[in-house]
Amino acid sequence: MQMSYAIRCAFYQLLLAALMLVAMLQLLYLSLLSGLHGQEEQDQYFEFFPPSPRSVDQVKAQLRTALASGGVLDASGDYRVYRGLLKTTMDPNDVILATHASVDNLLHLSGLLERWEGPLSVSVFAATKEEAQLATVLTYALSSHCPDMRARVAMHLVCPSRYEAAVPDPREPGEFALLRSCQEVFDKLARVAQPGVNYALGTNVSYPNNLLRNLAREGANYALVIDVDMVPSEGLWRSLREMLDQSKQWAGTALVVPAFEIRRARRMPMNKNELLQLYQVGEVRPFYYGLCTPCQAPTNYSRWVNLPEETLLRPAYVVPWQDPWEPFYVAGGKVPTFDERFRQYGFNRISQACELHVAGFDFEVLNEGFLVHKGFKEVLKFHPQKEAENQHNKILYRQFKQELKAKYPDSPRHC
């Protein structure tokens, strides 16, 4: 009996030692993992030991805290900014997809979540008090029913300074209280929304696109800043991560993602082969082809579509910046912010690309990845407000270029 007891004790001691060894090996592996540069090793580890997702209650508490702060005014004093209605944790070397939208155009977020596998940051503009309330209720519903939103999306809110967003009352969130799934939330938004161009808001307040872009990009190292009604090619996030992880040579480089637009958005092309098939029959064309051809022409679409097919994403050719090119790109490091004096329509992205050039960045066009805008962009009918805003921004752009000479006195480049 004593021998049997001694054997059992020895067995339990051995088992305990084995468990402690497993725990120590796991901690050692985590320590080694933190020093690895490749995303593949991290993915393999987290496939077996996934991080604990934030609970619905934690996300809702963050929403309440952000709204209860009352927000902060932007530099102009015209807008109230609520940072971090939703937050997401992010690897400092990750590539974030940064976008902006009016409340009505948030329905496009569903498609972005499907195509972009990495973190997203969205700045929402609510032009009226009613839209601000809808935005908070919508954020509340999305955080409740959409696990991807809780795991991967940061959301910020901007509204005119005279309004304050309120914490949604869970007892009276309208018809959103009856929803039970993520798809139901987006379906409901599609029914109540009135999507349209952002400068046709029907209010006396301008759409602060550059403020929204800066807010969405804030805190990111590498970011791809796009419009919310654009869709990236499948696997673009993972391909960018792999490319950026393999080399540190990208400082001072803007990696251009060619942008296209599709006539009908029923089925968006997933890869370059599908895009080229639609391109050849006129269903897809270069972005802004009918609105501002010079704004995208330097991308050199004829060269891009004739590149040999490749498996790995890489820069294919260098393009010198020229006015008025406004490419969509990925860049890290000291990227100039968007000038927030530009609002509504005209020169808001061109001005930032101009400063990027003067600051010393080079533009290299990627070989495989792309963006597709939903619908053809066409010249709109004359609108007095739009024309007035465009003329104001045109004058501001001339002033902006003069200011760059003082800001970068040693730069040999100019716009």
Binding residues: 227, 229
What is the rounded distance in angstroms from the CA atom of residue 189 to the CA atom of residue 254? 35
| Sequential DSSP letters for 57-71 | HHHHHHHHHHHHTT-
What is the rounded distance in angstroms from the CA atom of residue 45 to the CA atom of residue 4? 41
What is the rounded distance in angstroms from the CA atom of residue 245 to the CA atom of residue 263? 36
Instruction: Tell me the angle at which helices 384-407 and 348-358 cross, rounded to the nearest 10 degrees.
Output: 10
Whether the bond into 324 is cis, omega within 30 of 0:
yes
What is the rounded distance in angstroms from the CA atom of residue 8 to the CA atom of residue 4? 6
Which residues sit in the known binding site for Mn(2+)?
227, 229
What is the rounded distance in angstroms from the CA atom of residue 363 to the CA atom of residue 367? 13
Q: How far is CA 196 from CA 200, 273, 331, 347, in A?
A: 7, 30, 29, 20
Q: How many residues does the chain have?
A: 415
Q: Would you give the end-to-end CA distance of the chain in angstroms?
A: 92
Sheet holding 371-374, edge to edge: 230-232, 371-374, 259-262, 284-286
Q: Determine phi and psi for 222, rounding to 5 degrees.
A: -95, 135
